Structure 1
Amino acid sequence: MTKGEQTRRFIIKQSAELFNQHGYAGSSLSDITLATGIKKGGLYRHFASKDEIAVEAFNYACQIVGGKIEEAVQKGETSYDKLMAYFRVYEHAAESPPFIGGCPLLNTAVESDDSHPLLRSKAQESSGRTLDGIREIVEQGRASGEFRADVNAEALAMLTLSLLEGGIMLSRLEGSNRPMQLNIESYSSYLKQFCLK
């Protein structure tokens, strides 16, 4: 990796943490220069605009979180274990989320809903990939006979992501892991009662 590539990666990492904590609108180029120690001219040698930094920062944050989820999912022996792994990664959402500032998908989706079409599009792509991954696990569970044949993979994927993101949001808002713990218990009970054979 060249020095220029290292600098670019450093800017992305620092900006990802900044944006995920303070939002895109709440983070100026001056904030990025403070976080990185690189002057605006130096930033512009690597990026054309704040928007470009924001997109790369979002991709970086999602890669970090996605890697942690994938690692947890791979450790699961059953489809049930793999689905629960999504929640275990965010089990301590209030004080130690897998990425500083919480869930980049949730934060970006909420902030960019009406204000930033490019970031909204990136959040939609990330949501779609997450739903696809969950749906695949459900389909594997049906194919192996672990889950009932009538389980709707698309509906269960949507429920899973909704409970996950809702638990993250409420835990961060409350400053307590209690909402996520309740969602973990409720989701586990739901799977055992309505999905597992």
Structure 2
Amino acid sequence: MNMTKAEKTRNFIVEKTAPIFNMKGYAGTSLNDITAATGLTKGSIYGNFANKDEVALAAFDYNLKNIVSGVEAEMSRQKDVKGKLLVYINIYQNLFGGMVAAGGCPILNTAIDADDTHPALKARALKAVLNWKNRIMKLVEAGIDAKEIDADYNPEQIALTIIALIEGGIMISRLTAKPAHWNLIMDSLKNYVNSLS
């Protein structure tokens, strides 16, 4: 299916601005940042998007899709449930260097940035976390059914723990500027996942 010129331009704007929104946040990203990143005029930006909100929402979706597609591709290579759960840790661990350069995790950044200032972005971040939680819960439930994970474990608790340690690890590492902290937290998380039997 061929894209129209307008669709190509919209995609170009999103690809060029997604890292900026992720680094600077919604409030910190100006129209000048958007025009500088794309080389387009303000008229071209607003000819393709109604306002900065639309660009920000599209940028969040783009950033999230990149992470989700990487996770799904790697999960398809795993045979057991623990391997699939460890994919989340490994993907984030492998991306960490690049994520710092690109501003970090879009879910964490958007949740903090838009908490009280941008309800639509906050809703997107909430939906992303809930979807992530539900995907992990389904994996854990499949692991319990396959007797890979003990039936006494609570799938929701496991999902929330994995998400909290990944996002908390990113936050602590960025605040302290010490990737070693990230590695310590991820090692603890790997031990936790491996102990689920």
- If the TM-score is normalised by the length of the shorter chain, which range does it land in? over 0.9
Name which of 16, 19, 22 aligns with 1:17. 19
Asked if the contact 2:85–2:193 (Cα under 8 Å) also holds between the matched residues in 1, the reply is: no
Tell me if 1:140 matches 2:142: yes
Aligned to 2:177: 175
Residue 91 of structure 1: how far off its partner (Å)? 0.9
Pairs aligned (count): 195
Asked if the contact 1:138–1:153 (Cα under 8 Å) also holds between the matched residues in 2, the reply is: yes
Q: Equivalents in 2 of 1:98, 1:63: separation in Å?
A: 18
Residue 94 of structure 1: how far off its partner (Å)? 4.5
Q: Equivalents in 2 of 1:191, 1:49: separation in Å?
A: 43
Name which of 37, 40, 43 aligns with 1:41. 43
Asked if the contact 2:19–2:102 (Cα under 8 Å) also holds between the matched residues in 1, the reply is: yes
Q: Equivalents in 1 of 2:193, 2:175: separation in Å?
A: 27
Name which of 121, 124, 148 aligns with 1:122. 124
In 2 relative to 1, CA 98–27 (structure 1 residues): closer, same or farther, beyond 3 Å? closer
Name which of 5, 8, 13 aligns with 1:6. 8
Structure with greater helix share of residues: 2
- Note the residue ranges of structure 2 that are not aligned, 5 or more in a row: none
- Note the residue ranges of structure 1 that are not aligned, 5 or more in a row: none
Name which of 122, 134, 155 aligns with 1:153. 155
Q: What is the CA deviation profile of residues 131-169 of structure 1, one whole-angstrom value per residue up to 9, with x for unaligned ones?
A: 111111111110100000111001110001000111112
Structure 2 length-normalised TM: 0.93
Alignment of 1:28-177 (within 5 A): 28-92=30-94, 94-97=96-99, 100-177=102-179
Q: What is the CA deviation profile of residues 97-156 of structure 1, one whole-angstrom value per residue up to 9, with x for unaligned ones?
A: 398221100100011111111110010011111111111111111010000011100111
Residue 80 of structure 1: how far off its partner (Å)? 0.8
Aligned to 1:27: 29
Indicate the larger mover: 133-142 or 176-185: 176-185
Q: What is the CA deviation profile of residues 2-55 of structure 1, one whole-angstrom value per residue up to 9, with x for unaligned ones?
A: 222111101011121110011111111111011111111111111101001111
Structure 1 length-normalised TM: 0.93
Residue 184 of structure 1: how far off its partner (Å)? 2.1
Residue 92 of structure 1: how far off its partner (Å)? 4.3
Structure 1 residue identity aligned to 2:145: A
Q: Equivalents in 1 of 2:97, 2:192: separation in Å?
A: 26
4+ residue segments displaced more than 4 Å: none
Q: Equivalents in 2 of 1:17, 1:74: separation in Å?
A: 27
Structure 1 residue identity aligned to 2:31: L
Q: Equivalents in 2 of 1:55, 1:168: separation in Å?
A: 22
